[in-house]
Homo-oligomer: A and B are copies of this chain.
């Protein structure tokens, strides 16, 4: 659809704008080494590219700026792979060299490294729990009326919840109950716990326990898990380094959105396989219609379980960010898989 020359010029314009943040004029482009045309020629091509919707003009006597469509074409067709320098690679390796880490820590470090490497805001969605299976249950009484229920999954994740102890339940009874549960529910996926509890265990419990009702109530509390917040941000303030976000109101909208993790989750959706680039207007939420979001999913045993992402201005270093995200997602997948699938 676009001639080779148009592609060349579009590429040059986007490239330039990404680094300068200023509308680029025809002369700027014609002076580039990889371009052998006069400014007049460039002007004509620019005019065409604008007509086709790839470029925009802030006002008549200004240079051109890529439109969302322009960036989209750039990302889909023109981008060339970015090579990471030694320093960056070292930082990445550092993360994966950490031997023993909880998933939460990994996620946190990952976010931090992402911001460091890109100077944009990092968003990391943490391994989803869907696939987690029960490894161990504990119920630890604190006093006569309260206890902590603890659930350990096969991935090493620990969930805990403060619960009310029904009247007149003794330590020995709890112990028996916990034993029973560990016997019968090991390897059951977390989301099935309550269901299985009613289907399979309740009968047996009734036979062994006097306070059947109370016990059941206790377990019901324990297994009623809340959706824990699995979004980590790092470098939220980085957006303020961008010249196009010198305006407090714009920044405010974005940062307020970032504070609402549920909205973020909703926006990013379930982790699908691969890389996603959302450019400017393509975003649903108004607050970030001047931003781009790039996400890459990472997986555990081939199944996507989370994503790493970057939020930056539409004028983002797409090539670099994509490379970093791919590296990171791949590394995370390897790390997770080797840690949990043996």
Contact = CB atoms under 8 A, between A and B. Distances in A.
A162 B240 contact: no
User: Copies per complex?
Assistant: 2
Interface string A140-181: 101100101010101110101111100000000000000000
Contact of A143 (B158, B249, B342): B342
Contacts of A100: 146, 162-164
B142 A154 contact: yes
Contact of A251 (B136, B140, B251, B342): B251
Interface stretch (A52-60, A68-76, A211-219, A252-260): A252-260
B259 A240 contact: no
Contacts of A64: none
A298 B101 CA distance: 33
Contacts of A158: 148, 150, 158, 160
A148 B163 CA distance: 22
A248 interface: yes
Contacts of A135: 140, 142
A150 B163 contact: no
A139 to B, nearest CB: 10
A227 to B, nearest CB: 13
A2 B252 CA distance: 42
A102 interface: yes
A206 interface: no
Nearest to A146: B156
Contacts of A142: 135, 152, 154-156
Contacts of A255: 236-237, 240, 255
Q: Is the interface of A mostly helix, strand, loop or mixed?
A: mixed
A162 to B, nearest CB: 5
A196 interface: no
A247 interface: yes
B152 A162 contact: no
Contact of A252 (B136, B148, B240): B240
Nearest to A258: B237
A243 B120 CA distance: 27
Contacts of A164: 99-100
A245 interface: yes
Given A102-B162, A135-B140, A162-B102, A251 B256 contact: no
A138 interface: yes
A246 interface: yes
A61 B99 CA distance: 65
Contacts of A101: 162
A164 B237 CA distance: 37
Interface in A293-342: 339, 342
Nearest to A241: B252
Nearest to A246: B248
20 contacts: A100-B146, A102-B160, A102-B161, A135-B142, A136-B138, A138-B150, A140-B152, A142-B152, A142-B154, A142-B156, A146-B156, A148-B156, A150-B152, A158-B158, A236-B255, A237-B252, A237-B259, A240-B251, A240-B255, A248-B251
Closest 9 CB pairs of A and B: A158-B160, A136-B140, A240-B252, A237-B255, A140-B152, A237-B256, A100-B162, A246-B248, A148-B156
